[in-house]
Amino acid sequence: MSERSAADESRLTDLTCVVTGAASERGIGRGVALALAGQGRPLALLDLDGARLAHAAEAVRAAGSPAVVTAEVDVADEASVAAAISAVESARASPTGPLPPIGALVHCAGVADPTPFLEMTSSGFQRTLAINTLGLFHLARRVLPGMLDQGLGRIVAMSSTAAQDGGGNFSTSAYAASKAGVEGLIRGLAKEVAGTGVTTAAIAPANIDTDIMGGALVGQRREEFVARTPVGRLGTTRELGELVAFLVGPHGGFTTGATYNLNGGLRVG
Ligand SMILES: NC(=O)c1ccc[n+]([C@@H]2O[C@H](COP(=O)([O-])OP(=O)(O)OC[C@H]3O[C@@H](n4cnc5c(N)ncnc54)[C@H](O)[C@@H]3O)[C@@H](O)[C@H]2O)c1
C-alpha cells in the first residue's frame, strides 16, 4: 500500500455531511449539525420527522452552513434511505445552490424502547434494531461507494453507554443490543475499508439532556442523573457536536473503528 497524505484530508471541509436525527430541537443530531455548521460545512439533514426539518435547516443556516438540504427518511427502510440519499446527491444541481459530494455520514437518529424484556415483542425488538443498527447499515451501504470513489470519507454513529453496561436508565435490553451492534458494525467496517481514505467511529454518550431520556430532565429526576454522573453535571449536545466535528474534520483521519465515551465519567476505560 502506498503512503497516504494527511494533507489530502483537508478536502473534507468542502464536502457535505449527512446528519440523521437532526429534527429534534434539543437532540444530539441538532447539536452535531450546529457544530458542523459553525465550521462552515455543507449539510444534509435527514429525519423521520419531516415537519421539524425546515426549522432545523433554518437554524443551521443561521449558524453558518453555506448549503443545506433536508430529506424525510425512515432509516429502518432501505428504500426510504436510498431515496433520501439520492435526493441529497441530486441536490448538487438544485437552484437553491450546489451541494458538494458526501464526505461524512453521522447517524444520530435513534430510539430507546423502555419495554421490559418479558413484555417485549419480536416486532418491538426488531424495530429498535432496525432504526439504531440496521439504519446505520442502510445509510453506510448507500454513501460508502461515493466515499470510496473519492478516496475520502467518515462514518460516525451514536452508540450508548448501554452497549457497555446494559443500560437501564431510559431503555432496556433491545436498546443495549442495538447499540452493541452499532459498535460491532463500526469496528468491522473500519477494517473492511482500511486504507481507502474512509474511516469510522462510534460515540457512546450518556446523560445528555435530550428528549430520548423520556422528556426534559427536571426536578428530582435531574438531580438523580447529576448525582450519578462523576463530573457533576449533565452533558450537552454541543459537546457531542464538537467531538463529531473533530472526527469528520481534516484532523480526524488517524482514528478508525474506535468508540469514544462521552459520559461524564459514568464509565471509564
Ligand atoms: N441523550 C443521551 O444521553 C443519549 C445517550 C446514549 C445514546 N444516545 C443516542 O444518541 C442518538 C440521538 O438521540 P437523542 O438523544 O438526540 O434523541 P432524540 O429523541 O432527541 O432524537 C432522535 C431523533 O431521531 C429521529 N428518528 C427516530 N426514528 C427515526 C427513523 N426511523 N428514521 C429517521 N429518524 C428517526 C427522531 O425524529 C429524532 O429527531 C440516539 O441514537 C440515541 O440512542 C443518546
Dist. CA 208–CA 225, nearest whole Å:
10
pLDDT of residue 95: 65
**pLDDT over 70, % of the chain:** 98
Nearest CA to ligand 1 atom 20: 27
**Atom from ligand 1 closest to the CA of residue 162:** 6
The answer to whether the CB of 158 falls within 8 A of the CB of 212 is: no
The answer to whether the CB of 256 falls within 8 A of the CB of 247 is: no
Bridge partners (DSSP) of residue 155 are 105, 200
At position 100, the amino acid (one-letter code) is P
Nearest CA to ligand 1 atom 19: 212
Q: Which of 175, 179, 198, 206 is catalytic?
A: 175
260 catalytic? Reply is: no
- Best residue among 158, 175, 266 to mutate for probing ligand 1, ranked by most atoms within 8 Å of CB: 158
Mean residue pLDDT of the chain comes to: 95
Spell out the domains of the chain, with CATH numbers in brackets.
11-260 (3.40.50.720)
**Atom from ligand 1 closest to the CA of residue 208:** 3
Model confidence over 29-87: pLDDT tens digits? 999 999 999 999 999 999 999 999 999 999 999 999 999 999 999 999 999 999 999 99
- Helix, strand, coil share (%) of the chain residues, nearest 5: 50, 15, 35
pLDDT of residue 94: 61
Residue 98 Cα to ligand 1 midpoint, Å, equals 29
Residue 4 Cα to ligand 1 midpoint, Å, equals 35
Minimum mean pLDDT among 133-142, 205-214, 228-237: which range?
205-214
Q: pTM above the 0.75 mark? A: yes
pLDDT of residue 2: 82
- CA 158 to chain CA centroid, nearest Å: 5
The answer to whether the CB of 243 falls within 8 A of the CB of 203 is: yes
What is the rounded average pLDDT of the residues 156-185? Answer: 95
- Cα dihedral 114, 127, 134, 180 in deg (nearest 10): 20
What is the rounded average pLDDT of the residues 147-165? Answer: 97
**pLDDT over 90, % of the chain:** 89
The answer on pLDDT for 7 being more than 60 is: yes
Minimum mean pLDDT among 21-30, 160-169, 184-193: which range?
160-169
Dist. CA 214–CA 114, nearest whole Å:
9
Minimum mean pLDDT among 68-72, 141-145, 165-169, 222-226: which range?
165-169
- State the cell numbers at 210: 435530550
Residue 47 Cα to ligand 1 midpoint, Å, equals 10
The answer to whether the CB of 106 falls within 8 A of the CB of 20 is: yes
The answer on pLDDT for 169 being more than 90 is: no
CB-based pocket (< 6 A), ligand 1:
20-21, 23-24, 27-29, 47-49, 73-76, 108-112, 131-132, 158, 160, 205-208, 210-213
**Atom from ligand 1 closest to the CA of residue 76:** 31
Residue 102 Cα to ligand 1 midpoint, Å, equals 22
The answer to whether the CB of 139 falls within 8 A of the CB of 117 is: no
Bridge partners (DSSP) of residue 201 are 156, 258
Model confidence over 81-125: pLDDT tens digits? 999 999 999 986 566 667 999 999 999 999 999 999 999 999 999
Bridge partners (DSSP) of residue 18 are 44, 105
Nearest CA to ligand 1 atom 1: 208
Give alpha helix (H) positions in the chain.
Answer: 28-38, 53-62, 78-90, 122-129, 135-150, 162-165, 173-192, 219-227, 237-247
